[in-house]
Chain A
Amino acid sequence: MRWGVFIVMLLVGIVLDTSFMQVFAVGTVWPAIVPALVTFVALHATRPTALWAAFLAGLLVDCTSPSIAFLDGVRPYQLIGPTALGFVLGAQLVLPLRSMVVRRNPLALGVLTILFVLATMVVTTAIYSARGWYAGTLPPWMPTGTAVRYMGTEALGAMSSGAIAVLIAIPLNRTLVILGLAGSAPWSPRRG
Chain B
Amino acid sequence: MARGPTFHPRASRRLWWGSLLTALLLSLLPTRWLLGWTNEIGGLVRFPLVPFQHVAEGLRTWLRPMPDPRGSMPTEIRALDEQLERARTYYRRLELERDDLQQRIALLERTKPKGVAGEHSRVIYATIVATHAPSGRSVGSLLANVGERQAVVAGMVAAWDGDIVVGRVVDAPGRLSSLIAPVTALSGVEVRLFPVGRELDAALAPGGVLKAMPDGSWTTDLTQSSEVAEGWIARVADERWPLASRMMRIGVVERVNARDDAPLVKRLTIRPLVDPFRVPHVVLVDDALEEGAP
Contact = CB atoms under 8 A, between A and B. Distances in A.
Interface residues of A, number: 64
Interface stretch (B38-46, B85-93, B105-113, B252-260): B38-46
A136 B32 contact: yes
B191 to A, nearest CB: 18
B11 interface: no
A78 B34 contact: yes
B32 A76 contact: no
B27 interface: yes
Interface residues of B, number: 66
B45 A75 contact: no
Contacts, number: 184
Nearest to B30: A134
B41 A63 contact: yes
A18 B53 contact: yes
Contacts of B278: 22
B170 A68 contact: yes
A102 B285 CA distance: 55
A77 B60 CA distance: 27
Contact of B39 (A48, A78, A143, A183): A78
A28 B42 CA distance: 25
A183 B1 CA distance: 9
A19 B19 contact: no
A78 B179 CA distance: 12
B28 interface: yes
Contact of B31 (A20, A52, A136, A145): A136
A57 interface: no
Contact of A22 (B12, B60, B214): B60
B139 interface: yes
B3 A180 contact: yes
Interface string B162-204: 0000001011100000010100010100000000000000000
A80 interface: yes
B172 A14 contact: no
A80 B43 CA distance: 13
Given A15-B52, A64-B45, A68-B181, A81 B27 contact: yes
Interface stretch (A82-90, A93-101, A158-166): A82-90
Nearest to B137: A28
Contacts of B35: 69, 71, 75, 77
Given A78-B39, A182-B1, A131 B46 contact: no
B23 A68 contact: no
A59 B172 CA distance: 23
B63 interface: yes
Nearest to B2: A180
A21 B139 CA distance: 18
19 contacts: A15-B49, A15-B56, A19-B52, A48-B16, A55-B20, A64-B42, A64-B45, A66-B141, A67-B141, A73-B170, A75-B35, A75-B171, A76-B171, A77-B35, A77-B38, A78-B42, A127-B27, A137-B30, A180-B2
Interface of B: 1-4, 12, 16, 19-20, 23-28, 30-32, 34-36, 38-39, 41-42, 45-46, 49, 52-54, 56-57, 59-60, 63-64, 129-139, 141, 143, 154, 168, 170-172, 179, 181, 185, 187, 211-216, 277-278
Interface of A: 1-3, 11-12, 14-16, 18-20, 22-23, 28-29, 48-49, 51-52, 55, 58-60, 63-69, 71, 73-82, 84-85, 88, 127, 130-131, 134-138, 140-145, 149-150, 153, 180, 182-183
Given A23-B59, A28-B133, A149-B214, 17 more contacts: A3-B4, A19-B53, A19-B56, A22-B278, A23-B64, A28-B216, A66-B132, A68-B181, A68-B185, A69-B31, A76-B39, A77-B34, A80-B26, A88-B20, A138-B139, A144-B213, A145-B215
Closest 5 pairs (CB-CB, A-B): A145-B214, A140-B135, A81-B27, A19-B56, A78-B42
